[in-house]
Amino acid sequence: MSTALEFPIAIALVGAPDSGKQAVAEAYKDLSASWFEEQTVKGLNVIPNGGNAILEDLNQAVGLFGGWKEDLRIFMRRYEQEQAYLYAKQNFITLGTALDNMAHTGVNMENILRGIQTEQQQQQLQVQQIAMTQLTYLFLSTFRYSFAFYIPKTAGLILPGANDDEANYNNRLDDALQMIFQNFGIRLQRLDQPTVEERAAFMHQTITDIAENGVQEITEIAQVEEDESLLLDASATLSE
């Protein structure tokens, strides 16, 4: 089958926790299974959420109760899996990217800034800023996907008396992601469709259209690789 799309392909899903990345990935894999079987490089591998894997394998808190070590560990675990699939010339879809890790680090950095600025917190802030700079560099040097889709966070229902700390944290992560997109000039395809099935169908249509009609630029990172000043200012990813 002739195609204008170079295989293997790497697909990224970006979005805050509870945005539905896993459900969309599974629906897309099912929907596109026959199409992938027709390609020279067959099948589609799913790289799971690294935070969930660390929580299950190591019993280590992540997200709201995690920190910069977990953000870097999640990135490295995902990156290693991506490189392994690319080396084996296999297609993959990943649940999360360096952008998600940057958002986590940025929100946790904001949490420190909101507290009383003790000497210990100042030290924690400096470490967090270093981690943000590292993740920024890793993003600039590794964000190389054939397609990248962003799933906006929808407001969830919080029952009366329930602890809404995690929901608020996830909403702030979505805000942080959008701020990162703006500050770095990133444009991702949005999955605004109301159902998981419709989001998967939109992804499938987008990818097959490009395979048949030629590659179009889905992800645009405007001059970001040439702007070294972004690496020197960890606050470049978020603003007040």
Q: Which is higher by pLDDT, 5 or 221?
A: 5
Whether the per-residue pLDDT at 214 is higher than 60: the answer is yes
**Taking each helix axis from N to C terminus, what angle separates 98-114 and 119-142, rounded to the nearest 10 degrees?**
160
Per CATH, the architecture of 10-237 is what? 3-Layer(aba) Sandwich (3.40)
**Residues whose CB is less than 8 angstroms from the CB of residue 86 and which lie 6 or more positions away in sequence, other chains included:** 8, 10, 92
CA-to-CA dists, residue 216 to 29, 56, 92, angstroms: 22, 38, 19
More confident site: 51 or 73: 73
Q: Per residue in 151-178, pLDDT tens?
A: 998 765 444 444 467 788 889 999 999 9
**Which tops the pLDDT comparison, 78 or 214?**
78
Tell me how far apart the alpha carbons of residues 172 and 153 are, in angstroms, rounded to a whole number: 10
pLDDT band of residue 84 (cuts 50, 70, 90) is: very high
Instruction: Indicate if the pLDDT at residue 206 is higher than 50.
Output: yes
Least confident of 31-35, 121-125, 183-187, 188-192: 121-125
Given a cut of 60, whether residue 230 has pLDDT beyond it is no
Q: Are 51 and 181 in contact (CB under 8 A)?
A: no
At residue 120, does pLDDT exceed 70? Answer: yes
Q: Is 156 left (phi over 0), alpha (psi -120 to 50) or beta?
A: beta
pLDDT reported for residue 169: 85
The answer on pLDDT for 26 being more than 50 is yes
Domain ranges of the chain: 10-237
* Cα–Cα dist 17/47, whole Å: 15
Residue 171, both tokens: 């909403």
Q: Is the pLDDT at 191 greater than 60, yes or no?
A: yes
Task: Please give the residue that has the higher pLDDT: either 177 or 222.
Answer: 177
Flag whether pLDDT at 62 surpasses 60.
Answer: no
Q: Degrees (nearest 5) of the Cα angle 59, 65, 70?
A: 65
Listed range (106-120, 166-180, 181-195, 208-222) with the worst mean pLDDT? 208-222
**Is the pLDDT score of 193 beyond 70?**
yes
pLDDT band at residue 223 using 50, 70 and 90 as cut-offs:
very low
Q: What is the mean pLDDT of the chain?
A: 82
Which amino acid appears at position 110 of this protein? E
What average pLDDT does the segment 92-113 reach?
92
